[in-house]
Structure 1
């Protein structure tokens, strides 16, 4: 016997032994209870037979031989159906003995009476056999039904097993990517702040450069904002995965939301010399969670700037039937077909270029938010010709 390697393993082993012992005990109790039930049914069927014999003995002259045999057949039927084939046979044998006692001997040797007794015996055997076959068919049907149920349960468990394995894999990837991506801005921010403190403490006023200090602080601020965005994205992923993402819809104008989001990128657009044009209807009103839709637009516009290779970005917001459309087009390198099929999955990116930093969860969050609004995001892309992301949101008229 191999000794357990740890306390937890020993605990698990002990628990397994206890569970196994409990199962054996339950099985023994179940078998014992079954025997008790069968014995009780046998006793009850015999009591019925004796009761029938008493009635026949007391009122034989009134009932007649046919009614007497019918009363005994009722007890045989009960024994065969609620007991077993053997209990039915035992009841038939007891009934024949009692019939010999109940029916006068002069009648027993009468050919007619003897024929009725033999007929009773054959009929009892036939009823017992028919009920035995019927019970077997019923048990077979129950067995097939249980087998089907347990097969379905096995399939459900297999699917759950695959799902949980995938969840564990996603968790491991999440921890790996998150630890790496969060460490980078933290390290950079810490380095900038340490350098700034060193300059303030040790550099003389003659050589001190306010411009350099401002550059370090701005860089630290940028990394802090990036870190804050990553943390918020991770919190959003947690809300989505635990199905606790709640919406607070309000009447909103998608055109106004798009203008606000583009305005937040003004400094970045100017720095990277990227032109963004917005066109469409004057107003597109619908009930949405404004903050969540802003988050979707922010992710899509950020990706268009990131992967657009400095080329112009076109945004269109308009109504189309019962849908509100937000379409954003960049003219970057495009998305390969293999990546395009899984682009909205967790930790997937729109490019294999390792130079683009990020957790790879922006599109996943955006897609889940739009799905929560009963909409969808459609992507069209060709390698070398850019990509178009179209967000479709339903308009509910009150």
Structure 2
């Protein structure tokens, strides 16, 4: 009987020793992994079996995965911001140099009255270009850093859209662009940030003028099921099929919208704003139908 008890105690001691040894080994492994994370390493823990040790290892691996994803996102954002600043510095430098040249000519007083008026008009356009670039940059950084505050109001999107289009009428007349609008007189209520919605429409129209070089813009709003469908169609340059999937990417260089002047952020900002309004946006571009941007926003209940 005594020998049996001694054997049981011995087995218990051996088992306890093995358990403590395994725990020490795992603790060292956990500590090495956590120290490695501080130095940028992303090794994972491999544990067999089940139990508390496996659960702890699983949780640590989850932290590592999350850490890896955040680091990758930060690197991507950092690289994109570098590209944005590089692109913007080029876009700003050109109109700024031109602007200074025209201002110097005006200051010297060597121009006749007609030439001076013409130069002042050019200066004004160049200054507006600079303002547009800077506004676009600030808008993008506010969106990417989640500092853009959205204030939602229940508004008639039909009336809000009409207000935007009225502001564009002088531009359409100057650029010889025909506007076709199909907007119901009845109210169509949507919970929306009005400033964000106006920026979305302005970006799409500006994109059609600057990059599509269109002569006609059509805008329609339809109430289908529980959504408002806002379509902006222009008859300008057709976007090739292989470039359509990338049209909303920031600084995408292949499509027609990045081939002319611009920061390459307009459509990227547009998509981000639509998403923040709980909506969706899509684009199609066909030879006989033009380029169509369609926004879908939920109707206010």
> Given the two structures, how large is their TM-score scaled by the length of structure 1?
0.60
Give the superposed CA RMSD: 3.0
- The 1-side partners of 2:101 and 2:176 are apart by 29
**Are 1:245 and 2:148 matched, yes or no?**
yes
Q: The residue matched to 1:273 in structure 2 has which SS?
A: coil
State the Cα distance separating 1:177 from its structure 2 match: 0.5
Indicate the residue corresponding to 2:17 in structure 1.
83
2:216 equivalent among 309, 312, 319: 312
Indicate the residue corresponding to 1:341 in structure 2.
245
State the Cα distance separating 1:392 from its structure 2 match: 0.6
State the Cα distance separating 1:319 from its structure 2 match: 1.4
Indicate the residue corresponding to 2:22 in structure 1.
none
Structure that is richer in helix per residue: 1
The superposition leaves residues 3-56 of structure 1 with CA deviations (integer Å, 9 ceiling, x where unpaired) of: xxxxxxxxxxxxxxxxxxxxxxxxxxxxxxxxxxxxxxxxxxxxxxxxxxxxxx
Higher radius of gyration, 1 or 2: 1
- The 2-side partners of 1:384 and 1:157 are apart by 49
- The 2-side partners of 1:140 and 1:307 are apart by 58
Alignment of 1:232-311 (within 5 A): 232-282=135-185, 283-311=187-215
State the Cα distance separating 1:190 from its structure 2 match: 1.5
Q: The residue matched to 1:341 in structure 2 has which SS?
A: helix
The superposition leaves residues 105-143 of structure 1 with CA deviations (integer Å, 9 ceiling, x where unpaired) of: xxxxxxxxxxxxxxxxxxxxxxxxxxxxxxxxxx85378
Contact 2:212–2:256, Cα closer than 8 Å, also in 1: no
Query: 5+ unaligned residues in a row in structure 2: which ranges?
Result: 20-46
Q: 1:253 to 1:239 in 2, by over 3 A?
A: same
Q: 1:285 to 1:210 in 2, by over 3 A?
A: farther
Alignment of 1:205-224 (within 5 A): 209-224=112-127
**Are 1:189 and 2:99 matched, yes or no?**
yes
Structure 1 window deviating more from structure 2 (348-357 vs 145-154): it is 145-154
- The 2-side partners of 1:377 and 1:340 are apart by 13
State the Cα distance separating 1:234 from its structure 2 match: 0.6
Aligned residues: 271
The superposition leaves residues 243-265 of structure 1 with CA deviations (integer Å, 9 ceiling, x where unpaired) of: 22221011222222222222222
State the Cα distance separating 1:266 from its structure 2 match: 2.1
Q: The residue matched to 1:243 in structure 2 has which SS?
A: coil
- The 2-side partners of 1:353 and 1:366 are apart by 13
Q: The residue matched to 1:265 in structure 2 has which SS?
A: helix
Query: 5+ unaligned residues in a row in structure 1: which ranges?
Result: 1-65, 86-138
Structure that is richer in strand per residue: 2
- The 1-side partners of 2:103 and 2:91 are apart by 19
- The 1-side partners of 2:18 and 2:299 are apart by 68
State the Cα distance separating 1:358 from its structure 2 match: 0.6
Q: 1:251 to 1:79 in 2, by over 3 A?
A: same
- The 1-side partners of 2:233 and 2:193 are apart by 24
State the Cα distance separating 1:171 from its structure 2 match: 2.6
State the Cα distance separating 1:389 from its structure 2 match: 0.5
